[in-house]
Amino acid sequence: MRGQEKARKRLVAGLLTGILLAGAAAGMAQEKPSKVAIINIQVAILQTNDGQKAAKEIQTRFAPKEQELTKAQQEINALQDQLRNQEKTLSDDARNKLLKSIDEKTRLFNRNNEDATAEFQSAQNDAYNEIGQKMMPILGDYAQKNNFTLVMDVSAPQTPVLWVDPATDITKTIVDLYNQATATPAAAAAPATPAAAPIPATPPAAAAPAGGANPATTP
């Protein structure tokens, strides 16, 4: 009986402690309520002036490679059309040579296309990471000045956000603050111009040909 009594006293004491701690936590929450914001950091980076400039430079840099791959794809398509159209009239030797040529060109095309895509994505990542590093202090300063306790990045598809009040989205605000902080004196003094159309959050892979190239197969 005495053991049960002591157990009850310990239980009551534990409950009282839990209630006091909960009350203290509630009091702290009332003193400083949580303030949450969201940002799509990928969109923010792409919509900055630096992001727009970097995207154009990368597209210009890889345009010759894209044209080269497009030409190679057209050559493969022409050879495949030749094989289909002349299959009944070609000798076995001519047919085998044509198949070999298609196979070699296709292998070379696929290898060059993979290399170009990897280079494109690497250049893109380097440029956008540099912008992101400059953006983070601006984001942190804004969050502190506006008493945000949490800023969530919703650019990743797996972000567990089911609904959000649009008023909590600070993406455009951060873009504007970044442009102001990184503007050159000449750009800052220039009259305001309409904002450029945003670039897609995920630019297409470099020089990816329509339809892809598939090795010719013997019917």
Q: Which pLDDT score is estimated for 156? A: 87
Do 216 and 82 form a contact (C-beta atoms < 8 A)? no
The confidence score (pLDDT) of residue 214 equals 53
Q: Which amino acid is at 139?
A: L
Beta-carbon count within 10 A of 203 CB: 14
**Kind and range of the H or E run holding 39:** strand 36-39
In this predicted structure, what is the pLDDT of residue 196?
45
Give residue limits of the domains in the chain: 34-182
- Do the Cβ atoms of 51 and 199 come closer than 8 Å? yes
Q: In whole angstroms, how large is the CA radius of gyration of the chain?
A: 30
CATH dotted code for 34-182:
3.30.910.20
pLDDT along the chain (219 residues), means of 10: 48 39 48 85 96 96 96 96 90 93 96 96 96 96 95 88 91 97 69 46 41 48
Quote the pLDDT of residue 205: 41
DSSP string, 110-166: HHHHHHHHHHHHHHHHHHHHHHHHHHHHHHHHHHHHTT-SEEEE--STT-------G
How far is Cα 129 from Cα 106, in angstroms, rounded to an integer?
Answer: 34
This model's pTM is above 0.75:
no
